[in-house]
Amino acid sequence: VAGWNYIIGILGARWNCWKAHIPTNIHISWTEDIKKARSGDYYIKLYDEEKYVAVRKAIRNGEDPDSVNPLAVVVLNNPGIFLGPWVNSEFLAALLAILVSYSAFSAKYKLLA
């Protein structure tokens, strides 16, 4: 049913989301500071309104909110952010120039000897 309300749980927080106009698609998004974002699997729990009421009741009573079974759990794998190359290109170019120069001078001295 398009427009049906869902509640999602990510990283212990809860947000509302809605089904898209295409019945098989659900759009979920959140923002997180890049320095605090972790790589790995994020478990996104989908609740309908009845299950979300049960989650809130469990929290209010001091019980474990994970005891309420969600409608579905979506696993999102975050590979992490790109931190740049391991070796700078300038360093690699200088190293390659030194190796080429060494091999050229070595070959020259072998021919002259």
Residue ranges covered by each domain of the chain: 3-20+37-111
List phi, psi (to 5°) of 41.
-90, 135
- Average pLDDT across the chain, whole number: 79
- Sole residue written with tokens 């309908």: 48
In this prediction, residue 2 carries a pLDDT of 46
- Residue 107: its pLDDT value, please? 92
Name the token pair of 38.
């972790």
The token pair at 81 is: 């952010």
pLDDT of 1 reads 42
Helix, strand or coil for residue 17? strand
pLDDT at 49: 77
Ranges under pLDDT 50 in the chain: 1-3
Which whole-number Å values give the CA distances from 3 to 17, 52, 83, 94, in the listed order? 9, 17, 39, 59
